[in-house]
Structure 1
Amino acid sequence: MWRLNTRGNYEFLGGKEDWDAAARVAEQCSYYADDDEDEMTAEEPVSCYNCLYRRWTTNSFICQKVKQGDGRLSKKC
Structure 2
Amino acid sequence: MFENINNKQIFKYGKDAYKKAILQAVDCKSFILDKDEDELITSIDQNSCYNCLYRRWTQESFMCMALNK
Quick check: TM above 0.5? yes
Aligned mates of 1:57, 1:18 — CA distance in 2? 15
1:2-17 correspondence runs (5 A): 2-6=2-6, 8-17=7-16
Residue equivalent to 1:48: 49
The two structures, once aligned, show a CA RMSD in angstroms of: 1.4
Q: Report how many residues are paired.
A: 67
1:22-41 correspondence runs (5 A): 22-35=21-34, 36-41=36-41
Aligned mates of 2:54, 2:68 — CA distance in 1? 12
Greater fraction of residues in helix:
1
Taking every aligned residue pair, what percent have the same amino acid on both sides?
A: 39
Q: Which moved more, 1:18-27 or 1:42-51?
A: 42-51
Give structure 1 regions of 4+ aligned residues with deviation exceeding 4 angstroms.
none
Q: Which moved more, 1:35-44 or 1:53-62?
A: 35-44
Deviations 1:5-48 (A, max 9, x none): 11x11000110000000000001000000002111011361000
Secondary structure, counterpart of 1:10 in structure 2: strand
